[in-house]
Amino acid sequence: MCETTLRVRYAETDQMAVVYHSNYIIWFEVGRVELLRQLGFSYLEMEQDGLNLPVVEVKCRYKHPACYDDEILIRTRLTQMRTSLLRFHYELLRKSDGRLLAEGESVHVVVGKDRKRTHLTGKYLNAFHEAAEVAQTLAHPDTQPATQLTEQS
């Protein structure tokens, strides 16, 4: 799991100083990119190696509003890993009181420079596999890791 923080900027809010809904999706990306860095590489590095992770599905459940100048804690974890598909889960919390503001997930397929589906290899496969096992252990400490290293989608 990766935790990172950000502070709500005025430009991210509406006239009532409440965060506009699409910004939550952007914050999911902030968390995902930081998780990749925690795994030992950047998204830019993946792109330079010919791999991209386009979003094919995203969900967000809004619980409570975030407001201007709130400090937001973004928790990101990998919840599903296949050789050509990744699923991330996100929690956005107000840091001052720990209140859950939103939670969601995004699903990504692995594609090459030609935009055709491909598979994770080498260091990326190993790093994501390890992250999925850790997330599974944290979510269900009494069960065995259930990561899937198949070619299924």
Contact (CB, 8 A) for 29 and 98: no
With vertex at residue 42, the alpha carbon angle to CA 21 and CA 144, rounded to the nearest 5 degrees, is 85
Q: Which of these, 60, 69, 61, 70, lies nearest to 25 by C-alpha position?
A: 60
With vertex at residue 85, the alpha carbon angle to CA 118 and CA 87, rounded to the nearest 5 degrees, is 155
Q: Which of 14, 49, 114, 142 is catalytic?
A: 14
The set of residues, in sequence order, having a beta carbon less than 8 Å from that of 29 and lying 6+ positions away, is none
Answer yes or no: 14 catalytic. yes
Query: Going by DSSP bridges, is the β-strand pair 55-62/71-82 parallel, antiparallel, or unpaired?
Result: unpaired
Which residue, chain included where needed, has tokens 């990749």?
36
Contact (CB, 8 A) for 30 and 74: yes
- Active-site residues, by number, are 14
